[in-house]
Amino acid sequence: MTRKDSRPAAGAEAIDPDVDLHVPAQRAEPQGRVLAAVAAGGAVGASARYGISLLWPAAPGAFPWATLWINASGCALIGVLMVLISEGGRSAPHPLLRPFAGVGVLGGFTTFSTYALDFSRLLDAGQARSALAYAGLTVVAALGAVWAAASATRLAVRGRGPDRGTDRGTDRVVR
């Protein structure tokens, strides 16, 4: 049995842009620091989510607005963060920034499990219409938030980037 070459095709984007497995030091790098960053960030994000749910609780059978806004705002922040990390700067960000802030804080803040539980509670309370509206609205709000925030961040980054004053891709001066 032959092993397939697992290297990405030339020009293909890496699965994890923070790690280049062709560099022996990165291939053998211990993951303890990354796991600690994710865990610390997750504790921060999950605590913030829990705190918001205590401040803005949903009554049994009521529409779970807090979870919807937590997920939408967290997705917006993920859009901002990913653009800033991958497209926004001249220098590389700290290698633990994405695991801490993206996977940890924002992964712990946004919550599919609470979304599913809220959906189930609405169904159990006989609120099928609200449950379906919540399910659809959350998906639309989350995807729309990440897209809008990423797009706005790209525009903001372009406005202060090295090619400021030119039309990207044409080198034409914008007036």
DSSP states along 9-42: PTTPPPSSTT--TTSHHHHT--SHHHHHHHHHHH
Give residues with Cβ within 8 angstroms of 75, minimum separation 6: 110, 141, 142, 143, 145, 146, 149
The candidate with the shortest Cα–Cα distance to 71, out of 49, 101, 55, 54, is: 49
Q: SS3 for 167?
A: strand
Average pLDDT score over the chain: 83
Range 61-76 average pLDDT: 95
pLDDT of 5: 47
Looking at mean pLDDT, say which of 4-13, 86-95, 149-158 comes out highest.
Answer: 149-158
For the cut 90, the answer to whether the pLDDT of residue 38 exceeds it is: yes
Residue in 49, 68, 32, 54 with CA at minimum distance from that of residue 141: 68
How many angstroms separate the CA atoms of 52 and 69, rounded?
Answer: 10
Global pTM exceeds 0.85:
no
Encoded tokens for 63:
């529409």
Q: Of 14, 50, 19, 54, which is closest to residue 33 (Cα–Cα)?
A: 19
Q: In Å, how far from its chain's centre is CA 92?
A: 18
* pLDDT value at 145 more than 60: yes
